[in-house]
Homo-oligomer: A and B are copies of this chain.
Amino acid sequence: MEPLVSFLEIKANPPHLGDNTADLDRLRRAVAEQLGGREPRVAWSRTAPVAAAFRAAGFGGTAVLNHLAAGVELVDFLPGLATSPLAMALDLGTTHLEATLLDLATGAQLARAHQENSQIRFGADILSRIHHAASPGGLAALHAAVLGDINALARRLAGAVGIEAAAIRALSVAGNTAMSHFFLNLNPHHLIREPYIPMVNVIEPPAAGELGLAIHPAAPVWVLPSVGSYFGGDLVAGVLACGMAQGEEVTMLIDVGTNAEVIVGNRDWLMACAGAAGPALEGGVARMGMRAGPGAIDHVEYDSATATLRYTTIGGEPPRGLCGSGVIDLAAALYLGRLIDLKGKFRPAVAGNRLVDSPDGPALVVAPAGAAADGRPVLFAQTDLDAVMRSKAAMYAILTTLINQVGGQFTELAHIYVAGAFGRHINPRSAITLGMLPDLPLATYVPVGNSSLAGAELVLRDGDARRAGQALVRKITYLELNVNQEFMLRFSGSRFIPHTDHGLFPSVPFFGDL
């Protein structure tokens, strides 16, 4: 598998007058004997520490090796037989960081931690942070903030297994292109200015010490490469985690965050695009929207017999709001219960007294005040519905534009991987009912969880994955939707439930009489 860092047991003969080669050269040769003759490189900055540690250990112990594209680097020497190298995988999100600690000898996950992105104080969204980076000291402050967050996570992960953060021997980072720039202290100025150019896509791994990280100074920092300004290492990680670029069968990956990012292809070709379909689907638009957490309404059904909405909440707690999957379920249930029409507008004739006036105009009472967690009813307003309609239309338009661009059909897709919290909680049946996702057998849809983090873990464990990740940069074609006429046309056609062309959704009841 060739993990990014490995430990190698070394027993060398001590020097004597008949064998007086230098300490470090002796160690390099001992390593080479076990690596098929390849001598590892040793950077000048590691020369004295490694050679001194080798001698202090009596010319036997554990060599620490970094496996990089340019070859194997010898970076440390430990006395005795050291335990497995530990490494940290990081999903470096715009709002949220999630990390795991891995044992690279076994691949096992030892600990998990997460943390808000403290760059938020410079701006909630990437755009405002990029503007902040241009102010005096701005980039340095953004860089320092993300380093501080990562160091805090490293200390927490290390503490969970009773080690120091400096005992972490490697780090992999999957972030969008802007976050990768902030992390690496690179000017993001041109990311948001036409023609939207990153400073760099493929990064030579720095040592953690160069960046000022709290993990071992010689730990390699493997940053998943970007494909472009709008296709970052987080998505490259996702492609790796799903194995999309390995097989012959064509699959699709949908990752919904602030944007909806979609990739389709196989080992021979991959095409990607992104569009603003996301907020409503992550609970970011609905007034009562919330992240998937305790008290979030995550599933909704319409019981036509009793003409009532039935819902469940995460943790079974009294409802506080609606998470993304709840919003999709609710909208689908409202359509099936005919409480909304095919344009996504409330039908007062059916909704009746469930509709109330709210600061956002007409709103449906999903849970009355008496049932809700904080004594306030959970409402879902017409404006929320309008946002869901825009998001679902955008999503379907993105998917159809992309599949059409590659000359394919949805039915040819072996799988559609759905990443993130969205993928974990969503009911594909509801999304199909709304016309957000194509009308395919439900088994086609595979939730893959945090595929960015999974990809970051993969590159720590597997050299083939690291090489495949670098190769993806040239393999992935990015389809720019901002200037795409077809997308705009398809977006308009998708603003009905399930679609203007209802023949595309045979499994969804069509209420032509609405």
Residues of A within 8 A of B (CB): 15-17, 19-25, 28, 41-45, 47-48, 51-52, 55, 70-71, 184-187, 190, 194-206, 210-211, 226, 228-229, 473, 478, 480, 483
Given contacts A20-B478, A22-B226, A44-B203, 12 further A-B contacts (CB under 8 A): A16-B195, A19-B195, A20-B197, A20-B229, A21-B197, A22-B201, A25-B201, A28-B202, A45-B210, A47-B199, A52-B187, A52-B199
- Bound together, the chains give a CA A20 to CA B193 distance in angstroms of 11
Copies in the complex: 2
Q: Which of A25, A184, A480 lies at the interface centre, i.e. has the most chain B CB atoms within 10 A of its CB?
A: A25
Q: Which of A16, A22, A211 lies at the interface centre, i.e. has the most chain B CB atoms within 10 A of its CB?
A: A22
- Bound together, the chains give a CA A204 to CA B22 distance in angstroms of 14
Give the residues in chain B near A194, CB-CB below 8 Å: 17
Kindly provide the distance from the CB of A139 to the nearest chain B CB, expressed in whole angstroms.
Answer: 10
Give the residues in chain B near A228, CB-CB below 8 Å: 20-22
Q: A17 touches which one: B17, B25, B55, B480 (CB < 8 A)?
A: B480
- Bound together, the chains give a CA A112 to CA B270 distance in angstroms of 58
Q: A204 touches which one: B21, B41, B197 (CB < 8 A)?
A: B41
Kindly provide the distance from the CB of A25 to the nearest chain B CB, expressed in whole angstroms.
Answer: 5
Give the residues in chain B near A184, CB-CB below 8 Å: 44, 47
Known A-B contacts A206-B45, A229-B20; A200 and B70 likewise in contact (beta carbons under 8 Å) = no
- Bound together, the chains give a CA A15 to CA B187 distance in angstroms of 17
A47 lies within 8 A of B203 (CB)? yes
B20 lies within 8 A of A186 (CB)? no
Known A-B contacts A17-B480, A52-B187, A70-B71; A200 and B24 likewise in contact (beta carbons under 8 Å) = yes
A22 lies within 8 A of B70 (CB)? no
Give the 4 A-B CB pairs with smallest separation, nearest first: A44-B206, A22-B198, A24-B200, A22-B201
Kindly provide the distance from the CB of A389 to the nearest chain B CB, expressed in whole angstroms.
Answer: 30
Q: A48 touches which one: B42, B55, B187, B202 (CB < 8 A)?
A: B187
Kindly provide the distance from the CB of A264 to the nearest chain B CB, expressed in whole angstroms.
Answer: 20
**Sample of 15 A–B contacts (CB below 8 Å):** A16-B195, A20-B228, A20-B229, A20-B478, A22-B197, A23-B190, A23-B198, A23-B200, A25-B202, A44-B203, A47-B199, A47-B203, A48-B187, A48-B199, A70-B70
Give the residues in chain B near A200, CB-CB below 8 Å: 22-25, 42, 47, 51
Give the residues in chain B near A226, CB-CB below 8 Å: 22
- Bound together, the chains give a CA A484 to CA B464 distance in angstroms of 54
B210 lies within 8 A of A44 (CB)? yes
- Bound together, the chains give a CA A96 to CA B52 distance in angstroms of 30
- Bound together, the chains give a CA A196 to CA B16 distance in angstroms of 8
Give the residues in chain B near A190, CB-CB below 8 Å: 23, 55
